[in-house]
Amino acid sequence: MLREAWYAVARSEELAPGPIPVRVHGEEWVLFRGADGVASAIGARCPHRGAHLGDGCVAQGEIVCPFHGWRFNREGRCTRVPANRPEEAIPARARVPVRPVMERAGWVWLYTGETPRPLRLFPELEDPEYRRIHFELLWRAHFTRTVENSLDVSHLPFVHADTTGEVDPMVHHLRYGAEGDRLWIHPAPFRRSHPMEPPRPPREDPWSPEEQVEIELWFPNLWIIRAPVAAAAQMCTVLVFTPVDDQTTRIFGACLRNFAQEAALLDEHHLTHTLHVLDEDRRIVESLRPAHAPFDMREEAHVPSDGPAIRFRHLLRKALGRDAR
Ligand code: FES
Ligand SMILES: [Fe+2]
């Protein structure tokens, strides 16, 4: 369980003022906005009789439990027990845990550890030159399998035959590398037809090497594919993976482009194409067993084109060791 990470848990625009129930690593949290509009997350279970605070409401910036009306503030402290007479004290145990929350790039992010690291995002996500179209998906698959699939290039002609077209399934000159928590891939030979690549407008002149498609994973859960369209014009798809529990992963996605901001048809093309390709992935990823990608490399067979996914497993093992300390 990777606690020391930021996970997208909701869209900012949904939280008005909440509460919104969310789950990460099987733990239940409730998001809400305080009276000042700032988003917070507190543990979802009421310390009185265990009602779900997500079934309650927000009043004056605090959460009111649906069962006996106890109120909780953003520090997780109970501020009111309606059944108490004035001389009766609020018990010290009437507290719920809290976690750090942040809003960026149109998403609410939750840190599942207690002392947050800075949240680093791909610059395109917050660049006002980029139009951003959000989407969400829920897969019945373990986080590890879901992220690995986004780094797997040899499945393309099989899972995405209709988008990739007839291509040589042999993976030539796969270029990839890892620097710290950043894993990058320059997919080849599917250079101009990676299925997750946003559909680019047709053009006459030949592509130059600088127009190479690039995939990056910022470990553990931020993924991007960048497809240059012309000089300084780029389309990207971002996926943020959130482990809901051992069987479920939520994907917060965004289609981005820094040109033709008003072209509704491009919005629709990019989104429809992305959802189509991801649904092809979902079907296969949900069927994989064991559900969790095994850490023991001897449990599965590997070939050189699996290199990026194996790098991911190494990073994961290292991070889990760090988190356990
Ligand atoms: S269960 Fe929440 S107030 Fe009683
Ligand atoms: Fe795929």
Decide whether any atom of ligand 1 lies within 6 Å of the 81 Cβ.
no
Q: What is the pLDDT of residue 194?
A: 77
Report residue 204's pLDDT band, with 50, 70 and 90 as the boundaries: low
Q: Is the pLDDT at 193 greater than 70, yes or no?
A: no
Q: What is the pLDDT of residue 324?
A: 63
- Give bridge partners of residue 185 from the DSSP assignment: 176, 215
Ligand nearest to the CA of 156: 2
Report residue 198's pLDDT band, with 50, 70 and 90 as the boundaries: confident
3: left (phi over 0), alpha (psi -120 to 50) or beta: alpha
DSSP assignment letter at 228: E
Which residues have C-beta under 5 Å from ligand 2, the single-atom ion? 281
Percent of the chain whose predicted confidence (pLDDT) is above 70: 94
pTM for the predicted model, two decimal places: 0.95
What digits encode the pLDDT tens for the residues 6-35?
999 999 999 999 999 999 999 999 999 999
Number of neighbouring beta carbons within 10 Å of residue 153: 21
Report residue 60's pLDDT band, with 50, 70 and 90 as the boundaries: very high
CB contact set of 170 (below 8 Å; sequence gap of 6+): 189
More confident residue, 42 or 296: 42
- Domains in the chain, start-ordered, CATH in brackets? 6-111 (2.102.10.10), 123-324 (3.90.380.10)
The stretch 46-51 carries a mean pLDDT of 98
Decide whether any atom of ligand 1 lies within 6 Å of the 57 Cβ.
no
CA distances from 220 to 19, 181, 217, 242 (A): 27, 8, 7, 10
Q: Which of 42, 45, 48 to mutate for ligand 1's pocket (most ligand atoms within 8 Å of CB)?
A: 48
Helix (H), strand (E) at residue 318: helix 307-324
Q: Residue 162 corresponds to which tokens in the numbers above?
A: 């209709």
Supply the DSSP string of 145-168, one letter for each residue.
HHHHHTT--TTHHHHTHHHH-S--
Report residue 188's pLDDT band, with 50, 70 and 90 as the boundaries: low
Decide whether any atom of ligand 1 lies within 6 Å of the 58 Cβ.
no
Q: What is the pLDDT of residue 259?
A: 94
- Spatial separation of the C-alpha atoms in residues 214 and 122, rounded to whole Å: 13
Ligand 1: which residue has its CA nearest to atom 3? 68
Q: From the DSSP assignment, how many helices (H) and strands (E) are in the chain? A: 5, 18
Task: Choose among 285, 266, 284, 169: nearest CA to 227.
Answer: 266
- Spatial separation of the C-alpha atoms in residues 279 and 196, rounded to whole Å: 11
What digits encode the pLDDT tens for the residues 112-149?
998 899 999 999 999 999 999 999 999 999 999 999 99
* Nearest atom within ligand 1 for CA of residue 49: 1
Q: Share the mean pLDDT of the chain.
A: 92
Q: What is the pLDDT of residue 291?
A: 96
